[in-house]
Amino acid sequence: MKNHRQAFQQDNKNRGRLLISCPDQPGIVAAVSQFLANHQANIIESSQYSTNPEGGDFFIRIEFECPDIESKKPLLQEEFWKIAQSFSMEWTLSFVHDLRKAAIFVSKELHCLRELLLEWENGDLMMDIPLVISNHPDAKDFVESFGIPFVHIPANKNNRQEAEQQQLKLLEEYNIDIIILARYMQILTPTFVKAYSEKIINIHHSFLPAFVGANPYARAFERGVKIIGATSHYVTNDLDEGPIIEQDIKRVNHRDQVEDLKKNGRIIERSVLVRAVKWHIDDRIIVYDNKTIIF
């Protein structure tokens, strides 16, 4: 696990990423490209999208190599800020070797947690996982087998604020960048969501916006659905209505019972959540209104 991350950081020690959104107008790509060229940076990957070339919004993701990028960080940020101002940009400049620190929240169902940790162990999720937090003790042995600290904080509707205060203290202590709700079956308060806006990724066991809320598989079975699915989204104060990151489906038929739907649903949930997390840590997502643009 450690060797995967160390090798990745070494291989990407001079690589950076720019994510930009702004009103569309001529000269944006030219200005950004010239900025990178002025710092001897070579563009490795570039993808852009415009909602409407005439008066719409413009989005671009650029990944680049820049010699000795570590020592240039302050200068790059300072000089790009001037360009951003001239085009009214919202932007992030990230450095690939600075791995995100993720906290995973889980309850009793562990299939998504298992998938995340196995993908992390084999080097396909390039991030640090300083801790796993759960309102049940069930995952303790599995998590600790990866050398990751496990923290049990009982949480329910009666002690939600007290539990979140403990959680927020831990997240600050470990400098957490992203929270992954791997079937964490608790509603988060507005205070908690605000502290990590657009940094909390949830997996919902339904193909949203259909069958939101509790017991979606039983309700889907009652309706005789022909497809089931799962949805990963950013968490907002509107339950299960945050910007959707990724979805997938599987066909079913009248022979499938509720347990069959759940079993197949868990398979979809695992892969959908992993893809959403990977896109986030690879800086491939821009939130636009209540939607996402994914490069």
Which positions are catalytic?
240
DSSP states of the chain as a string? -HHHHHHHHHHTTTEEEEEEEEE--TTHHHHHHHHHHHTT-EEEEEEEEES-TTT-EEEEEEEEE-TTHHHHHHHHHHHHHHHHHHHT-EEEEEETTSPPEEEEEE-S--HHHHHHHHHHHTTSS-SEEEEEEESSSTTHHHHHTTT--EEE----TTSHHHHHHHHHHHHHHTT--EEEESS--SPPPHHHHHHTTT-EEEEESS-TTTT-SS-HHHHHHHHT-SEEEEEEEE--SSTT-SPEEEEEEEE--TT--HHHHHHHHHHHHHHHHHHHHHHHHTT-EEEETTEEEE-
